[in-house]
Amino acid sequence: MDNRLNVTYITFDGHVEVHKYRYLYFVIMFTVYILIISSNLTIVYIIVIHKSLHEPMYIFIAALLINSVLFSTAIYPKLLIDFLSEKQIISYSACLFQWFTYYSLICSDFFLLSAMAYDRYVSICNPLQYQTIMRKTTVCILLISAWILPACQDSVMIILSAKKKICNFHLKGILCNSTVHELHCVRSRMLNIYGLFVFVSAGLLPVLFILFTYTRILVITYRCQGVRRKAAQTCLPHLLVLISFSCLIAYDVLLARLEFDFPKTLRLIMALQVVIYHPLLNPVIYGLKMRGIYVHLKRLFC
């Protein structure tokens, strides 16, 4: 008996005139993918080779940029193949793996942004205790937790979804994200409850923690003008990344929760923003706004 008979294939919807302009789309997306890889890894390389950047804040930035590379690698190869294919198909197991990678890295980004916020809070509000609190052991624990915890949480979602029966073989969008729930014959209440738990624990709570720490930093810097400039230089890039990232993910979460048929063009635009905008925004923000990185980046290219 052929084991491939047990593989369920689903088709993608969301490509606009993909057959007519497939090669143009392929070239554009391949260029964007190379740009994402090169820009993120360039800043990671700068952080690694310069000992002056071997500080917790820059280590967390490097981890965030590595996440962007992994995030893009989980999406772009399949997307590029789709542009060159007559039909855009994917096995259900591969779709679940892409879904797992997609959300694990998203949750990991929120944890890393929380670690950055905590690092800035200690640096600005408790500068005399910074070296004692932010030791290498603390940084390692925060990094490992930022990758392990989301993977463990999302693996439960994948196991529950793998056991669900599939009735719909047409996926709305260009990647496997929260719309995978629409493929199931019956919506699972357990999946919805657990998904809400993951959203609160890995998304909402980190955002609230970040807002709390930056509010405390704002209060301290308002009283002490001497640290105001330092706070603005180091905290503003994190806040810009957090705001843009949260808006994109909020749409992605609401897409599965609201029983509303979004227009195909809107789905495509928002999906492309997550795929293109976010991985490219991180190196631009941190490369231009973080002076420690910008100086070395300028020397590298000039």
Residue 10: beta bridge partners? 90
Whole-prediction pTM: 0.86
CB atoms within 10 A of CB 285: 18
Task: Inform me whether the pLDDT recorded for 172 exceeds 80.
Answer: no
pLDDT at 4: 34
For residues 286 and 238, what is the distance between their CA atoms, to the nearest angstrom? Answer: 8
Domain 8-301 superfamily per CATH: Rhodopsin 7-helix transmembrane proteins (1.20.1070.10)
Question: How confident is the model over 114-155, as pLDDT tens digits?
Answer: 999 999 889 888 888 888 999 999 999 999 999 999 999 999
Structure tokens at 292: 């420690």
Region for residue 13 given its phi and psi (left: phi exceeds 0; alpha: psi -120 to 50; beta: otherwise): beta
Task: List the strands of the sheet with 89-91, edge to edge.
Answer: 89-91, 9-13, 170-172
Cα first-last separation, the chain = 62
Structure tokens at 152: 């463990």
Mean pLDDT of the chain: 81
Q: What is the mean pLDDT of residues 272-296?
A: 82
For residues 15 and 78, what is the distance between their CA atoms, to the nearest angstrom? Answer: 13
pLDDT at 59: 94
Question: How confident is the model over 15-52, as pLDDT tens digits?
Answer: 444 556 778 888 988 999 999 999 999 999 999 999 88
Q: What is the mean pLDDT of residues 45-67?
A: 92
Question: How confident is the model over 178-218, as pLDDT tens digits?
Answer: 778 778 887 778 888 888 888 888 888 998 999 899 888 88
What is the share, in percent, of the chain residues with pLDDT greater than 90?
Answer: 28
- The more confident residue out of 100 and 244 is 100
**Measuring CA to CA, which residue among 210, 267, 282 is closest to residue 13?**
267
Least confident of 151-165, 178-192, 229-243, 257-271: 257-271
- The more confident residue out of 260 and 277 is 277
CA distances from 117 to 17, 150, 212 (A): 43, 18, 9
Residue type, 21: Y
Q: What is the mean pLDDT of residues 97-116?
A: 91
- The more confident residue out of 174 and 12 is 174
Which of the 8 DSSP states describes residue 129? G
